[in-house]
Structure formats: C-alpha cells, structure tokens
Amino acid sequence: MREFERVEEVKEENPLDSMLYHFDQAAQLLRLEPDLYTFMRHPSLEVTIYIPVIMDDGHLEVFVGYRVQHNFARGPAKGGIRFAPDVTLDEIRALAAWMTWKCAVVNIPFGGAKGGVVCNPAELSRGELERLTRRYTAQLLDILGPERDVPAPDLNTDEQVMAWIMDTYSMHARHVVTASVTGKPIGLGGSAGRREATGRGLLIVANEAFRHLGLSPKEARVVIQGAGNVGGVAARLFHEAGYKVIAISDVHGGIFNPQGLNIPEVLEYHRVEKSFRGYPHAEPIPNAELLELECEILIPAAVENQITSRNAERLRCRILCEGANGPTTAQADRILQERGVFVLPDILANAGGVTVSYFEWVQNRMGYYWSERVVNHRLKEVMTNSFRDVLAYATRYGVSMRTAAYMLAIDRVAYDVRMRGIYA
C-alpha cells in the first residue's frame, strides 16, 4: 500500500486526486490487504474513442469520447454519460470510481462506470446531437449491455439521449433491449419516480441527519446551488416538506430571499425564462456568495470542485448535503470537519438516482412495472438504511461521514473480490 498523502499534497483542481485521497484514507483505516488495495485502486477498462459526425452544413466534425469501467466485482458497471466542453479523462475516471463506491454504499449489485463526450450540446442541433449519440453508442457496443455496462443520464444528457442509446443498442441486437440503459422515458421502459429520485434521496438523508443531530426541519433554511433535475427537484421537495428554501441558482447566478422563496413560482419562472434573472420577489446573488449564505443545510447540486480551500472557511451551513458528484475538494473537506460541519457525502447523499436506476433495470428485466408509490417507498427504505449503515461506521471508527461512507463501500467491494478471487 502506497504511503498515505497529506491532504496538502493533493492536486485540488483534479477530482481524481481527491477521490484517491479519500480511498487511500479509508483503505488504510480498514487495513485493506496490499493486493486488494492495488486491484481496487485502478479501473478495469478505459476507452477513448473519436466520433465522426456529419454536421448540418455537410462538413465532418470529430469529437472525443470516453468510457471508463471501474469495477465489476458486485455486478455490471453502472454510470452516466455527460456531454460537456470541459470533460477530461481524469474527471471520468473519478466519476466511474465514485459510482463503484456509491452503488456499494446503497448495497445494489452494480459496479461503477462513467462516460463523456467533449462537446457543447448548446451549439449542436437536435440532429447533430442524435448522430453524435448514436455513433458514440455504436463505437462502444462491445462493452455495453444489461449484463456488462448500463449507461444513464448525467450532465447535459436526458431521457431523449437515453432513448437514442437504447434504440441504437437494440437495432444492433436485433431486438428491443430496454435494460441496456436507464433514465429512459416512461413509455420506453423508464421507471416512475426516476426523474425525482436524486432530489428525493437528498431529502431522505437530510431528514435522517436532522433527526440524528436533534434539529427540527420546520423553517430550517435551505440553500441550493443548481436548478436542474437534482437542484430543482430538491428545491420543490424540500419546500413541500416544510423546509424554507431561501436561495437557489443556476449557471448564470441565483436569487435570495431570507423570508423564503415561493418555490413553485420560482421554478415556473425559471422554466419560462431559462434563468432567474429578473425574478421580482428576491435579490440576485452570485453563485460564489450563495454558497456562503447562513443556513441550516447547503446543497451543492451543480458540478465538481465548488467548495475548495479558498471558500470552505466562509461556509455558514450546519449540514452540507452533496447533490453533485465531487463538489467538495479533499482540502475543503478537512476544513469542514475541523469546523464541525456535518457532511452528507455525495456517494451517500445523491445515491437516490442510481438506486431508482437499479429499480428501472430490475423492472425492465422482469417486464413488470411498479407504481411511483412503490418506487418511492423502496427508495426511502434503501436511503434510510444506507444512512444508518454509514453512521454506524462513523461511530464505530470515530471518523467523518465521508470517510465512513468510503470505508463501508470499500469493505463491501473487497468482500466480493475476496470471495470471487482475481482471475489471473
């Protein structure tokens, strides 16, 4: 096992370094065997592809795409596909590993994977986006499938993109394979409750954290960075549960009202205007200042590396509930621990999405679909049990919830690797 790095030596801007730092810390506390440590620290497979796309004006553009499969010990790889201009291989490596740990934390039978394409979807027509998606899928057919690797939506991808992936896979398989992807439209085999699942999971673990800390959610102030499928849904669900959402933002900036926002009205305004600019019943606020508002619970639900050593000292939340993957760097995490902030780490807090993706995969494979009430009930059971499992590790080992979540995940994956053995 490699010598444990000091947190100051971690490259803060690289999410892979932060992930490996937390992995190393947890592995050492578990006294993980050196061979297992070496095996689990590396991904199983990495693929870089070059995707030719005929653009609408007739010229050929070549895009770079990635798929990283981190671990198969517990089952098929599972993980989203993101389309963004700043996608990097290290980012995809980190996200794939986080998926392995996330699936293990909530104890579902998947390993981790992640994919990405370097592009700006806002600059692509619908036809260009479809051709890009289908060619990306076709070039990865040998490593995808219900028993191999099951993609899902992520940053800048949605139900439509998943439908194109499922159709492309199915055309090559010569029969409909609904379980080849999750996050599909309900009419194509998607699951009821899938769109709300990540936000609902955040609410469930937040409720558990409030109970554990002896706090009351009534009128508790909530600040949310992000207004998409995670942040926007979380805002609505927290509002309906009696929390007071005082600020919310998107990539352009946010709005703040210390008396609380009318969330249904706010979300409808954002749907129509595509931003919060000009919303009349709140003050505008930059994203950087929004993170530093005084509140009981802060939910970063945008992208990685939002809370760093440069702003962690100025956070004024009691609970940090991570809706995004990797929003907090390793250096910032240490600062938050020292300041007594109760952190609900991403691999626990936002695992509602992959949990209901698992439910969708199960429903596809058995050809029988559950009601939203059943999905939500089972999601609550999984998320509540997972919170308690992580808390038990935190109590037993005297560590933070983040370290405890990594320890629990590594323990579960290591057990399966030991039992299966390493084929060599």
**Secondary structure letter of residue 123 according to DSSP:** G
Q: Quote the pLDDT of residue 424.
A: 75
The H-or-E segment that residue 283 falls in is strand 283-285
Choose, from 11, 78, 102, 114, the residue flagged as catalytic: 114
Q: Quote the pLDDT of residue 250.
A: 93
Q: What span, in angstroms and rounded, lies between the C-alpha atoms of 24 and 18?
A: 10
Whether 114 sits among the annotated catalytic residues: the reply is yes
**Sign of the four-CA dihedral 192, 194, 195, 199:** positive
Q: What are phi and psi of 56, to 5 degrees?
A: -60, -30
**CATH class label, 43-177:** alpha beta
pLDDT higher than 90, residue 321: yes
33 exposure class (CB count in 10 Å sphere: 0-12, 13-18, 19+):
middle
Same fold, 43-177 and 197-349: yes
CA atoms within 13 A on the CB side of 183: 26
Average pLDDT of the residues in 172-199: 96
Q: What span, in angstroms and rounded, lies between the C-alpha atoms of 247 and 224?
A: 6
Q: Quote the pLDDT of residue 314.
A: 96
Instruction: Give the number of other CB atoms < 10 A from CB of residue 71.
Output: 26
Q: What span, in angstroms and rounded, lies between the C-alpha atoms of 288 and 291?
A: 6
> Tens digit of pLDDT for each residue in 367-402?
999 999 999 999 999 999 999 999 999 999 999 999
> Tens digit of pLDDT for each residue in 258-276?
999 999 999 999 999 999 9
Q: What span, in angstroms and rounded, lies between the C-alpha atoms of 323 and 231?
A: 7
Superfamily (CATH) of domain 197-349: NAD(P)-binding Rossmann-like Domain (3.40.50.720)
- Crossing angle (nearest 10°) for helices 231-240 and 263-273: 160
* Domain boundaries of the chain, sorted by first residue: 43-177, 197-349
